[in-house]
Amino acid sequence: MTMHAAVLDSIGSTPRYDSAVPVPTAGPGQVRVKVELAGLNPIDLTMAAGTFPGPLPAAPNVVGREGIGTTDDGRRVYFAGTVAPHGSLAEYTIVEDGPNLIQVTDDLDARHAVAFGIAGMAGWISTVWRGAVTPDDVVLVLGASGVVGQVAVQAARIAGARQVIAAARSEAGLTRALELGADTAVRLADDLDHDGLVAAFRDAVVVGDVTLVIDPLWGAPAAAAIEALGPNGRLVQLGQSAGAELTLRSGWVRQTNTEIRGYTNKLTPREVVVAEYGAMLEAADAGDLELEVEELALADIGLAWERQESSPGVKLVIRP
């Protein structure tokens, strides 16, 4: 039996649509999932390019890490993390029968299930759990135009943060962040040097200091955000869209008791993931949390890849 899938032939190439890939078989401790809708994420691109800072699945492989579907034994599940070489951008995939599976209801909107999966968790859990946002916080969300940043802005607003500052390069992305509940927008303009960016972050604060930074960017914007933090501030580092490195001055951290906390969905305790995923879906159902979703066909994987490379600011999902 064969199926349709997006296949990466070699690290550094772009996946191609293949209509005759063998349907995978589950091994011990694994389940086969018939995929209803899959999500595309920056991690799929960095893994395919070989630039992901972690273990890479060997090529050839089927790309994609997350989706919603039905197991062979009839459970409807959201899953994040597949068993290589079986990715989620396919009619069937293989998942460990464990923490990577979250059972969901039959009436759950598949688009919500995927939109608030990898990207949603990174934006929401980094803010409410790792960042431990409170109503006393002035939260600066870097990359607020991206899907992770849009969720972080809304998580901070829903948690009642005193002020939510959205920072991004794109004007359209900043307009959307304000619509989603940010109080203030800061443009990461090309002509702002480090000192200009620090001043822009500080000037954006209405009362007090920036106390919490949610950072999917690293690079120059994160360096400026660290310097802009007030005493006992914290920065949650979860991505590197602006660069894998930055120059960090000791004084920016030492003089202010600044704390830099790493965040990865992978190391978040399962009970936190399940509870916060549920909280996100509830908020989305109530119309309090939103993320624009764009659906593409599996046969259009080349186009989907290009869209994701361009930081589209919408959650891309693929229907196999």
Ligand X SMILES: NC(=O)c1ccc[n+]([C@@H]2O[C@H](COP(=O)([O-])OP(=O)(O)OC[C@H]3O[C@@H](n4cnc5c(N)ncnc54)[C@H](OP(=O)(O)O)[C@@H]3O)[C@@H](O)[C@H]2O)c1
Return residues touching ligand X (CB under 6 A): 41-43, 118-119, 122, 143, 145-149, 168-170, 173, 188, 216-217, 221, 238-242, 263-265, 311, 313
Smallest gap from Cβ 34 to ligand X, in A, equals 25
The residue of the chain with the least Cβ separation from ligand X equals 146
* Beta carbon nearer to ligand X, 83 or 147: 147
* Beta carbon nearer to ligand X, 24 or 239: 239
Q: Which two tokens stand for residue 314?
A: 């919408």
**Is 126:152 a contact under the CB 8 Å cutoff?**
yes
Smallest gap from Cβ 146 to ligand X, in A, equals 2
User: What is the DSSP annotation of 40-62?
Assistant: --HHHHHHHHT--SS--PPSSEE
Smallest gap from Cβ 197 to ligand X, in A, equals 11
* Beta carbon nearer to ligand X, 177 or 281: 177
Percent helix, strand, coil in the chain (nearest 5)? 35, 30, 40
* Beta carbon nearer to ligand X, 189 or 206: 189
Cα–Cα distance, 233 to 241 (Å, whole number):
22
Smallest gap from Cβ 143 to ligand X, in A, equals 4
Cα–Cα distance, 272 to 68 (Å, whole number):
19
Smallest gap from Cβ 10 to ligand X, in A, equals 22
Degrees to nearest 5, angle at CA 85 with 295 and 126: 60
Cα–Cα distance, 302 to 299 (Å, whole number):
8
* Beta carbon nearer to ligand X, 23 or 102: 102
Amino acid letter at 143?
G
Q: What is the DSSP letter of 175?
A: H
Smallest gap from Cβ 65 to ligand X, in A, equals 10
Which residues, 6+ apart, have CB-to-CB distance to 257 below 8 Å? 231, 232, 233
* Beta carbon nearer to ligand X, 34 or 194: 194
